[in-house]
Homo-oligomer: A and B are copies of this chain.
Amino acid sequence: MTGEPAIISSAAALLIGNELLNGKVEDRNLGPLARLLRSLGIRLQRSVIVPDDVTAIAREVAALSASYDVVFTSGGVGPTHDDVTLAALAQAFSAPLEIHPELEAMLRSVYGGACTATHLRLARAPRGAQLKGCPEVRWPTLVMRNVWVFPGVPELFRMKLATVRYHLRGSEPLHSVVLRLQLEETELTPELDAVVARFPEVEIGSYPQWSDPTCKTEITFDAVDAEQAEQARAALIQLLPGVLHS
């Protein structure tokens, strides 16, 4: 729990749950995770949703864990039959699924004599899993190798993100500026192409806005070097004289 945050570069998210795919529930966790990682300078490069299926989850965990510095999972960690994330992690890493002694002790201290076998399902962990804590969060986060395991309940997911902020940092935070224009994308594409070609170090995004009377297209400029982002924005403004922007 102490020491400097670990420096990482790439991340992936794995959202687990039939309810996200069958339309019963809309995911509310990726947005907060994406914004946190961005603020830390960590690049979220892929997000996958899979159903509550041990084999599907295990295959995805193995693939993402091998390709990205850190993987964040959401969902499938409760006590019921459809909570299979920890079994899938065990399968992905060929580790036995056990009762984690520290989690068991915590559950017994919370529930005392009322602690049931069902409560102890919440202490399951693949052998080798670590617990990561931080001052703001009472319950630790289970981390297996480079996979951080979060609950799917949005209120708990967001609360536990503080643990990520405490332990991880990106290598190169991005600086971002925005240009909001009263032009359609088709009216600015050649000029934008010229700026894209001139500033290869700046990641430029163009996003049509359909429900905003004050803006038809939003252009974003992201770069490790804040000055480059500003220069790219200024260059586009210069190529599009007389347009409204804020």
How many copies of this kind of chain does the complex include? Answer: 2
Per-residue contact bits, chain A 35-79, to B (CB 8 Å; 1 contact, 0 not): 111110001111111111000100000000000000000000011
Main secondary structure of the interface of A (DSSP, over half): mixed
Q: How far is the CB of A221 from chain B (nearest CB, A)?
A: 12
Q: Does A186 contact B (CB under 8 A)?
A: yes
* 8 further interface pairs, Cβ-Cβ under 8 Å (given A18-B203, A47-B49, A79-B186): A21-B46, A26-B31, A46-B50, A52-B205, A80-B185, A81-B206, A122-B186, A153-B210
Residues of A within 8 A of B (CB): 18-27, 30-31, 34-39, 43-52, 56, 78-83, 116, 118-119, 121-122, 153-156, 174, 185-187, 189-190, 192-193, 196, 203-208, 210-211, 220, 222
Q: List 12 A-B contacts (CB under 8 A).
A: A18-B205, A21-B45, A22-B44, A22-B174, A23-B44, A24-B205, A26-B31, A27-B27, A48-B49, A81-B204, A83-B206, A121-B189
